[in-house]
Amino acid sequence: MSWKDYFYFSSSQRRALIFVAFIVAGLCIANLFYAFFSKKTGIDELHDSVYMAQVQQFNTSLKDKKWDYKNRHFYTYTTAKKTFKEPPVVLFVFNPNTLDSAGFIRLGLKPYVVRIILKYRSKGGKYRNAIAFSKTYGLSSEQFRLLESYIKIPVEEKPPIINNKQVVITVELNAADTAQLKHLRGIGDALAKRIVAYRSKLGGFSSVNQLKEVWGIAPEIVQQIIPHVTVDVSRIKKIPINKSGIDRLKKHPYINFYRAKAIYEYRKNNGKISSIEECKTIVDESLNPQFWDKIEPYLEF
């Protein structure tokens, strides 16, 4: 088949093509002259004039503005930054093992650094010297140089040695750190840390016999060290029973969820609890008299 065959049209097809060509040409000419033969109404002219005025006003406003992204006035959604004025640094002699959070803030330490220090101490940690304190996470070298001369850590007294044997000293359980606990015969690093951790959960020991509740400590070791330990109950951190919710109550090792819920429900229905005697009147199978005798040192009414 020749390529000419593709361009062959019958007489009727040629007439149709010519007719379509005239129609297309006519439409093109009509479109060109339409603007000259059509007149806009007054309303259309009014709309166009308003629109053009708005466009002109917008273009003028763009020319007047300087597109500087550093200019805060172009960002209408931004708010003024709140400035926090840090308190002035007050330098004074301090012991990092005993200073409270307010004291550290006065010295210029950041709140998160203070939290790290207090958390370290709550786990039984103790700073032996200024160099040990300088290793605190978040404490810059500039801050340490500023505070170094004000750090005063008392020298820890070591147990006396008689006949080449270390004499066991008396240890107060609610104030001793891991180093002091390790002076007790049979208490190593692991047990000392467990005793401090359990003391933190309890809020303090109310009896030396509670050492038996520390996980991993053998009964014979407890019997061996009991004569050499004391308990200061005034150091116990008590639970405000009338202000604590279920979550706060059940954090104590002696109070599980069901006991906490029973205490909360009684308080909700009967008002504030006034004494341990009233506690013993709460009817619940999990709250027996033995439980109340055990938890009494930790409750505050």
Residue-wise pLDDT for 102-130, tens only, equals 889 999 999 999 999 998 888 778 888 88
pLDDT greater than 90 at residue 269: yes
Share of the chain above pLDDT 90, in %: 46
Per-residue pLDDT at 86: 67
Mean pLDDT of the chain: 82
Amino acid at 89: V
Going by pLDDT thresholds of 50, 70 and 90, the confidence category of residue 35 is low
Contact 232, 172 (CB under 8 A): yes
Contact 299, 287 (CB under 8 A): no
Contact 225, 186 (CB under 8 A): yes
Within 13 Å, how many C-alpha atoms sit on residue 99's CB side? 23
- Tell me the three state secondary structure of residue 226: helix
Least confident of 12-16, 178-182, 277-281, 289-293: 12-16
Average pLDDT over residues 83-95: 79
Per-residue pLDDT at 52: 76
Average pLDDT over residues 69-98: 65
Residue-wise pLDDT for 126-135, tens only, equals 888 888 899 9
Per-residue pLDDT at 22: 87
Contact 135, 167 (CB under 8 A): no
Residue-wise pLDDT for 163-212, tens only, equals 555 555 789 999 999 989 998 888 988 899 999 999 999 999 999 999 99
Tokens 């033969």 -> residue: 37
Per-residue pLDDT at 63: 62
Residue-wise pLDDT for 139-161, tens only, equals 998 999 999 999 998 876 555 55
Average pLDDT over residues 25-50: 66
| pTM for this predicted structure | 0.50
Per-residue pLDDT at 78: 46
Amino acid at 263: I
C-alpha to C-alpha distance for 267 and 273, rounded to whole angstroms: 7
Average pLDDT over residues 48-75: 62
Query: Backbone phi, then psi, for 299, in 5-degree steps?
Result: -105, 140
Q: Are strands 165-166 and 171-172 parallel, antiparallel or unpaired?
A: unpaired
Per-residue pLDDT at 124: 75
Per-residue pLDDT at 6: 56
Nearest in space to 200 (alpha carbons), one of 228, 169, 176, 216:
176
Per-residue pLDDT at 283: 86
C-alpha to C-alpha distance for 170 and 183, rounded to whole angstroms: 9
Q: What's the first-to-final CA gap in the chain, in angstroms?
A: 111
C-alpha to C-alpha distance for 239 and 246, rounded to whole angstroms: 12
Largest CA distance in the chain: 135
Average pLDDT over residues 288-292: 90
